[in-house]
Amino acid sequence: MMIAQLRLIEMMSPHSYIAVRKVLGAGSGQESPGFNGLLRVAPDLGAAMQGVLKRAGTDALTVHREPTKYPLLYQLTECVLDFDELFQTFRYQHIMLVKRIIGAGTPSLKGKPTELLERSMRTPFYPDLWEVRETMFADFVRGESLTKK
Ligand code: HEM
Q: Whose CA is nearest to atom 36 of ligand 1?
A: 29
pTM of the model: 0.88
Domains of the chain with bracketed CATH: 33-138 (1.20.58.480)
Counting Cβ atoms within 10 Å, is residue 131 exposed (0-12), middle (13-18) or buried (19+)?
middle
- pLDDT one-digit tens code per residue, 60-113: 999 999 999 999 999 999 999 999 999 999 999 999 999 999 998 887 777 777
Write down the H helix ranges in the chain: 2-10, 14-22, 33-55, 60-65, 71-101, 115-121, 127-138, 144-147
> Best mutation site among 117, 121, 123 for ligand 1, i.e. most ligand atoms within 8 A of its Cβ?
117
